[in-house]
A and B are shown apart, each in its own frame.
Chain A
Amino acid sequence: MTFPENLKYTKTHEWIRFEDETTAYIGITDYAQDQLGDLVFANLPEEGDEVTLGEAFADVESVKAVSDVMSPVSGTVAEINETLADEPQLMNQAPYDAWFIKVTGITESEELMTAEEYQAFIAE
């Protein structure tokens, strides 16, 4: 499992990559995809939707179950990754390339972990 240093991580196993202070990409971590197993579908929001810190903005479906994906920030969905609809396996194969949404106008963010802190967190 890998945890790139340039990303921040959440306790609910999302990664977030800030482009600048108010813009970021969000996806799910390598650990998350490993726990969920083969993913077959991602239900994404629409461009222009608002996401709220601590609330689900998407859900992912594996053969086993459907799980919520939580937003670590509040802001507006500027873009969604449409390739996930055709190639859900990207979430398993390359979780850090398989971003779900690009958020702009970020007004608040939860306390995020570094790669090192996140690895310690999941080891618990």
Chain B
Amino acid sequence: MKLVFERSMPGRGTRYLPDLDVPVHLPDAAARQAALNLPELPETETDRHYTALAGQTYGVNNGFYPLGSCTMKYNPQINEEMAALPGFTQIHPLQDPETVKGCLEVMETLEKFLCEITGMDAVTLQPAAGAHGEFTGLLLIKAYHRERGDMARTKIIVPDSAHGTNPASASMAGFDVVSIPSDGNGCVDLEALKAAVGPDTAGLMLTNPNTVGLFDPNILEITRIVHEAGGLCYYDGANLNAVMGIARPGDMGFDVIHVNLHKTFSTPHGGGGPGSGPGGCKAFLAKYLPGKGVEGSIGDVRSFSSNFLVAVKALTYILSIGREGIPAAAENAVLNANYMKEKLKDIFPMAFDKVCMHEFVISMEKMKEETGVSALDLAKAMLDHGIHPPTMYFPLIVHEALMVEPTETETKETLDEAVSIFREICEEALANPQSMHEKPLHTAVRRPDEVLAARNPVIRYDFEA
């Protein structure tokens, strides 16, 4: 497929922007010397280009999308309808607050609901996505220790099964990262945790259920160990979908959290979303929350009210499914994951074969050794069957991992179809291993040379070439 620049028809001109109707006073030094290098295309051709691009994408509306730890649940249309209401779209962030009270009520109501669901006392909607929420939460932890004069607390403990964003966020926030190994069940190794905590511990970052899809049975003991050592506990809300409305991070002993509205609360995920990663905390940390000019605050982490329309969608979701729907969604997410796991486990070796939460992890290590077919090959083969592959090669503690999260919004029929596709691919791999390295055969883009792309990335169009 051609790039939009390659479709350009020189001489056609561009009509992207209306004529300027205000006087311009720019010093020569600040003015562009040449016109912008925009493709010259009539609107019909531009429209066709983007429609063709849209045809090459794959989303939840196209089919099954079991991307583990991403919670690719269906995004109900009513969310979009509410977010398109003129009262929410035809406003300006600098408008007099008296004239946007409905919008403020949306934000306050969502904050209140998120507090209730997570067991926190205060929430900020500012962070624009999950990792941003982590960063914000870590700054709260830092502010807490700093105000107490406890400057020696420079280390954040992260299990080796953690989402990669955890150590990255801790590092961005100026902490040193201490990685601790998981135990044989993929959960936190209590002895390793006890050995790691001390007067230099600022906090622990944990996902529960964790990245192998298991609820850590020692969670109360874990948060107690960290608290007794003087650290705080951070809850990565990426996997909240498994427990929302049933178990609350606040009751597990966590002090600071983030949630992903674009995962758990059914707002679009991926493709620019945009995302939203509200941060929450217990009352004793609330004074540090973002807020311009607020005494003790860490300051704003995002301009204005962040991705406000995402908040509208998340509130719509919560109000649509209600007090009974929230835990029912979690229960169905767990049920769907266990259903698929049981239907697959005789031929797909489970990394941890026990009742899982919202996702489960397969290890294809044995198949890789015996046939040369890797988790990547299997994932690529799924594309030919019109489903999105699961997360691959994560968590890092499982070799040749495939991490499957069906979510609650898939029907039994869809799950059954996916199971039969998984099984068919596995059988093909065993019968004809060589053929798997060529997959996919029927997609718009076959198998990109990822190594070449990573070694020699072409990240912008070269007009000279």
Q: Do A and B come from one complex?
A: yes
**Which residues of chain A (71-110) have a CB below 8 Å from chain B?**
88-89
Query: Is B396 in contact with chain A by the CB < 8 A criterion?
Result: yes
Q: Decide: A88 and B396 in contact? CB cutoff 8 A.
A: no
Residues from chain A with a CB closer than 8 A to the CB of B451 are 38, 40, 63
Does chain A have a CB within 8 A of B94? no
Q: Does B455 contact A (CB under 8 A)?
A: yes
| In contact, A40 and B454 (Cβ under 8 angstroms) | yes
Q: Counting CB contacts under 8 A, is A120 at the interface?
A: no
Query: Which one of B393, B396, B450, B455 has the highest number of Cβ atoms from chain A below 10 Å of its Cβ?
Result: B455
Q: How far is the CA of A63 from the CA of B375 in the complex (A)?
A: 13
Within 8 Å CB of A38, what residues of B?
A: 450-451
Complex contact A63–B396 (CB within 8 A): no
The reply to whether A65 and B455 form a contact with Cβ atoms under 8 Å apart is no
Query: Do A64 and B454 touch (CB < 8 A)?
Result: no
Say whether A88 contacts B393, CB under 8 Å: no
Give bound CA distance, A65 to B401, whole Å: 12
Q: How far is the CA of A30 from the CA of B150 in the complex (A)?
A: 46
Q: Are A89 and B455 within 8 A (Cβ)?
A: yes
Cα A41 to Cα B450 with chains together (Å) = 13
A63 to chain B, nearest CB (A): 5
Q: State the CA gap A63–B454 with chains docked (Å).
A: 7
Interface extent on B, as a size class? under 10
A113 and B454 alpha carbons, distance in the complex (Å): 34
B393 — which chain A residues lie within 8 A by C-beta? 64-65
Which chain B residue lies CB-closest to A35? B399
Task: Give the nearest-CB partner of A40 in chain B.
Answer: B454
Q: Chain A, 8-47, contact with B by CB distance < 8 Å: what is the 0/1 string?
A: 0000000000000000000000000000001011000000
Fill in one digit per residue for B437-451: 1 if any A CB lies within 8 Å of its CB, else 0: 000000000000011
- Taking CB atoms, residues of chain B closer than 8 Å to A65 are 393, 396
Chain A residue at minimum C-beta to C-beta distance from B451: A38
Q: Whole-angstrom distance between the alpha carbons of A40 and B451 in the complex?
A: 7
Closest to B179 in A: A68
Q: Which residue on A lies nearest to B396, using beta carbons?
A: A65
Query: Which residues, 386 to 420 on B, are CB-close (under 8 Å) to A?
Result: 393, 396
Q: How far is the CB of A14 from chain B (nearest CB, A)?
A: 18
For B450, the chain A residues whose CB sits under 8 A away are: 38, 63
Query: Contacts of A89 on B, CB cut-off 8 Å?
Result: 455
Q: Which residue of A lies closest to B455 (CB)?
A: A40
Query: Mask for A36-68, Cβ within 8 A of B = 1, else 0?
Result: 001011000000000000000000010111000
| Residue ID in chain B nearest A65 by CB atoms | B396
- B396 cross-chain contacts in A, Cβ below 8 A: 65
Report the nearest B residue to A87, measured CB to CB. B455
B119 smallest CB distance to A (angstroms) = 34
Assembled-state Cα–Cα distance A64/B396 (Å): 9
CA distance in complex: A65, B450 (Å): 13
Complex CA–CA separation, A40 to B450 (angstroms): 10
Instruction: Give Cα A89–Cα B451 distance, bound, in whole angstroms.
Output: 9
B454 neighbours in A (Cβ, 8 Å)? 40-41, 61, 63
Closest chain-A Cβ to B169's Cβ sits at a distance in Å of: 15
Residue of A nearest to B456 (CB): A40
A103 smallest CB distance to B (angstroms): 23
Query: Within the assembled complex, what's the spacing in Å between the Cα atoms of A68 and B451?
Result: 19
**Interface residues as binary, B30-66 with A (CB distance below 8 Å gives 1, 0 otherwise):** 0000000000000000000000000000000000000
A64 to B454, CA, bound (A): 11
Specify the chain A residue showing the minimal Cβ separation from B457. Answer: A40
A61–B455 alpha-carbon span in the complex (Å): 10
Per-position binary interface string of chain B over residues 332-349, scored 1 when its CB falls under 8 Å from any chain A CB and 0 otherwise: 000000000000000000
Interface residues of B in 120-157 (CB under 8 A from A): none
A63 to B451 Cα, complex, angstroms: 6
Q: Which residues of A contact B455 (CB under 8 A)?
A: 40, 88-89
Chain B residues within 8 Å of A41, by CB: 454
Min CB distance B443 to A, Å, is: 19
With A and B bound together, what is the CA distance between A41 and B393 in angstroms? 18
In the complex the two chains form, what is the Cα distance from A61 to B451 in whole Å?
11
Q: Give the distance in Å from the alpha carbon of A38 to the alpha carbon of B455 in the complex.
A: 10
Interface centre among B393, B396, B451 (most CB of A within 10 A): B451
Give A82 Cβ to nearest chain B Cβ, in Å. Answer: 16
A89 to B452, CA, bound (A): 10
Chain A min CB distance to B94 (Å)? 42
A63 to B379, CA, bound (A): 15
Cβ distance B363 to chain A, nearest Cβ, rounded Å = 14
Nearest neighbor of B374 in chain A, beta-carbon distance: A37
Shortest Cβ gap from A119 to chain B (Å) = 17
List 15 interface pairs A-B (beta carbons < 8 Å), by A numbering: A38-B450, A38-B451, A40-B451, A40-B454, A40-B455, A41-B454, A61-B454, A63-B450, A63-B451, A63-B454, A64-B393, A65-B393, A65-B396, A88-B455, A89-B455
**Nearest 3 A/B pairs, CB to CB:** A40-B454, A38-B451, A63-B450
- Which A residues are closer than 8 A to B by beta carbons? 38, 40-41, 61, 63-65, 88-89
A40-B454, A40-B455, A64-B393 known; 12 other A-B pairs, CB under 8 Å? A38-B450, A38-B451, A40-B451, A41-B454, A61-B454, A63-B450, A63-B451, A63-B454, A65-B393, A65-B396, A88-B455, A89-B455
